[in-house]
Structure 1
């Protein structure tokens, strides 16, 4: 069984891989032997993340990239191909939080569009360059590819003042289902991971809010908030041959929050 999860020879990109859930996934992938390229906007944060990833012993690299810019995505992908020669998995994890700072009644078009530009359009751009490459390889007899989007339980549950964030994540769920059908002929799977409340830089403000913690922690059957390392196992599974027959699915990782 150990060989089923050996990712030696595979190459994965993790957008937003320099921290939080993305780094948790990247560390596990590298630990399983996968070459990993992390994409992030902050070059210094990328550098620090690379130091951690290098400890796993697998080849690692980083590209400075804002996924909201399609040209930047293409440049980062080309650079990754130049370095590693192939890309087998695209973990489209980069995103921005909704924040819940203002009501839908006050939401302006600029804030709505910015959330979509990163959380949805950035995934589209990342998936598209990867899927084209994977389809070309399939045509040459090398049919294998993994597309994985980081969605959210906000796509399943209503959250006041976060309709813009939830809308982007719901769109991701629908997109992976469509891509699963379209791209199966190339040996490409498409799935989404739906985190619940996770301790990360993005949620640091919430985790420091005693009212938030006292309200939400008792609603999680696991009685703890998630951590980035909780996403390592699912990342390795979805990247491996073990998941070759799982596609078009949304996988909830939330400590039981959505079923309590």
Structure 2
């Protein structure tokens, strides 16, 4: 992937950082779009350790103007876009009957509106370049089953599958692929509260055939695979990485 420019939204921690690191290890230059500047600076330093160029761009993915400016800066500094990963996401745990409309809208604004705005900007860039490319939409296995206290998160991640499929169909004529990555239970900052619940952790681990949660680093290789420009026939696919949770 040497010479390829990749963007990872929310790429400064957790699965997003693992995705960015997997592509950096494969030789891609990587731009990390995120709101936390200090965390992004640390992530970029780590990515540069793999001998590639890396860039931190402050961006609220739900802000249309910031998204456009982030793309312009990225291609100006790193070169034409080769892969775009829509990973940024948040959650808000609450019983459904107690979920405020404000929380519902806040989660969908980042997870779904943000994915729409960023992948639209990426698609525009790919079409203008005429060079093809890859889009990866990071959803979740929660799109396959119910998730108590996570109505907004589950709805947003399920919506991402529809978005990803549409991009795969519509952008194929431009040689742009789009695949969806569905992580299972993974040890990240976002899942830390769930991990502190011993009963929940025990139940989800028992249902996972490999009998453990994933570590973020386990998404490095699959990220490089999904970004590989040689895989021109692989599109519209849901790649599930969950230790067998959804089939057990």
- Class of the TM-score when normalised by the shorter of the 2 chains: over 0.9
Quote the offset at 1:250 in angstroms: 1.1
Quote the offset at 1:242 in angstroms: 4.2
Residues 117 and 15 (structure 1), Cα distance of their counterparts in 2 relative to 1, 3 Å cut: same
Quote the offset at 1:215 in angstroms: 1.5
Choose which of 46, 61, 66 in structure 2 pairs with 1:67: 61
SS in 1 for 2:24: helix
Choose which of 105, 114, 119 in structure 1 pairs with 2:97: 105
Does 11-20 or 237-246 show the bigger shift?
A: 237-246
Count of matched residue pairs? 248
1:38-77 correspondence runs (5 A): 38-77=32-71
Instruction: Tell me whether 1:189 sits opposite 2:181 in the alignment.
Output: no
The whole-number CA distance in structure 1 between the counterparts of 2:137 and 2:174 is 18
The whole-number CA distance in structure 2 between the counterparts of 1:119 and 1:224 is 26
SS in 2 for 1:221: coil
Instruction: Tell me whether 1:200 sits opposite 2:188 in the alignment.
Output: yes
1:205-244 correspondence runs (5 A): 205-244=193-232
| Unaligned segments of structure 2, at least 5 residues | none
| Unaligned segments of structure 1, at least 5 residues | 1-6
Instruction: Tell me whether 1:135 sits opposite 2:123 in the alignment.
Output: no
- 4+ runs deviating over 4 angstroms: none
Quote the offset at 1:31 in angstroms: 0.7
Aligned to 1:165: 153
The whole-number CA distance in structure 2 between the counterparts of 1:125 and 1:222 is 36
Aligned to 1:178: 166
